[in-house]
């Protein structure tokens, strides 16, 4: 790809990001993106076959990387069974939350599009994929650590996992400064762990 072609592609992506953020995926207009980028529609389609491909180019790499690493973290939990402890649960949960928050802030533009402007794309279900991974991990912890003698229902795990990710969605959608986001998630971690200790009958 020539230097001019690279610069054109970069300009199209920058203008597309602006268009998607202002109007959302469904209302974003390819012709308007071309006008903003000062290229012909033909030139734009030479780089991006359609609006879906253009949106993918803005979010796919960081989104897939985060999902892959998130899955890997939880797969590691199975490696320590049956010696899983509440301390391991706390350590894994805290480290995973810290890593995810940092990764989102390193790729904020992409995740703002996914969390706030992806309706109509395949990325609209991205949060559900993350939540499903979290639910599976919760089930492993509950089965391994539960001491209160009652079965934790799947719906509770789903709702709890969903609420955990809602913290991140709110942080991104409200464009919190990083320091405030860290403070919010630190409180969320302590709040969540206290709840698990109560429900599973674990020592603080």
The 10s digit of each residue's pLDDT in 67-119 is 999 998 877 766 666 666 667 778 888 888 999 999 999 999 999 999 999 99
**pLDDT on residue 144:** 78
User: Measured between alpha carbons, how far is 52 from 163 in angstroms, rounded to an integer?
Assistant: 29
Q: Are residues 7 and 104 in the same domain?
A: no
Based on DSSP, count helices (H) and strands (E) in the chain, helices before strands: 9, 0
Residue 185 has pLDDT above 90, yes or no: yes
For 151, the enclosing helix (H) or strand (E) is none
Contacts of 108 (CB under 8 A, 6+ apart): 172
Q: Based on the fold, state whether residues 8 and 44 are members of the same structural domain.
A: yes
Residues 74, 24 share a domain: no
Are 185 and 131 within one domain? Answer: yes
Question: Per-residue DSSP letters for 35-49?
Answer: HHHT--HHHHHHH-S
63 and 35 in a common domain? no
Whole-number pLDDT of residue 201? 78
CA 11 to chain centre: 26
Asked if 135 and 157 count as a contact pair (C-beta separation under 8 A), the reply is: yes
Q: Specify whether the CB–CB gap between 51 and 93 falls below 8 A.
A: no
Residue 2 belongs to a domain: yes
CATH no. for residue 13? 1.10.10.60
The residue assigned the tokens 């706390």 is 90
Instruction: Examine residue 181 and state whether it is found in any structural domain, yes or no.
Output: yes
Average pLDDT in the chain? 90
Tokens of 71: 């899955």
pLDDT of residue 117: 97
Which of 67, 68, 74, 101 is CA-nearest to residue 88?
A: 74
Q: Judge if 11 and 39 occupy the same domain.
A: yes
The confidence score (pLDDT) of residue 57 equals: 98
Asked whether 43 and 37 are in contact (CB, 8 A), the reply is no
Same domain, 108 and 194: yes
Backbone angles phi, psi at 151, to 5 degrees: -80, 130
Within a domain: residue 54? Answer: no
Residues 10 and 37 in one domain: yes
Query: 107 in helix, strand or coil?
Result: coil
pLDDT the model gives residue 81: 62
Among candidates 170, 193, 12, which has minimal Cα distance to 95?
A: 193
Answer whether 118's CB lies under 8 Å from 55's CB.
yes
Tell me the C-alpha distance between 182 and 122, whole Å.
Answer: 29
Q: What is the pLDDT of residue 1?
A: 58
pLDDT tens per residue, range 141-176? 888 777 655 678 899 999 999 999 999 999 999 999
The domain in which residue 191 lies consists of 59-200
In the chain, the number of structural domains is 2
Q: Does 189 have pLDDT greater than 80?
A: yes
- End-to-end C-alpha distance for the chain, whole angstroms: 58
| Whether residue 132 sits in one domain with residue 79 | yes
């Amino acid at each position: 790809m020539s230097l001019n072609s690279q610069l054109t592609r970069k300009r199209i992506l920058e203008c597309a990001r602006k268009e998607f953020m202002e109007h959302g995926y469904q209302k974003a207009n390819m012709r308007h993106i071309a006008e903003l980028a000062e290229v012909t529609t033909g030139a734009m389609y030479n780089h991006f076959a359609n609006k879906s491909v253009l949106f993918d180019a803005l979010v796919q790499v960081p989104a897939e990387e985060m999902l892959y690493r998130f899955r890997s973290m939880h797969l590691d939990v199975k490696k320590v069974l049956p010696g899983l402890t509440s301390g391991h649960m706390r350590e894994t949960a805290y480290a995973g939350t810290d890593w995810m928050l940092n990764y989102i802030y390193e790729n904020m533009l992409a995740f703002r599009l996914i969390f706030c402007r992806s309706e109509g794309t395949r990325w609209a279900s991205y949060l559900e994929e993350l939540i499903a991974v979290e639910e599976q991990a919760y089930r492993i912890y509950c089965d391994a650590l539960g001491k209160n003698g009652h079965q934790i229902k799947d719906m509770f795990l789903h709702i709890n996992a969903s609420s955990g990710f809602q913290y991140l969605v709110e942080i991104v959608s409200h464009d919190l400064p990083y320091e405030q986001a860290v403070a919010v998630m630190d409180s969320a971690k302590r709040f969540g762990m206290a709840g698990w200790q109560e429900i599973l009958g674990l020592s603080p």
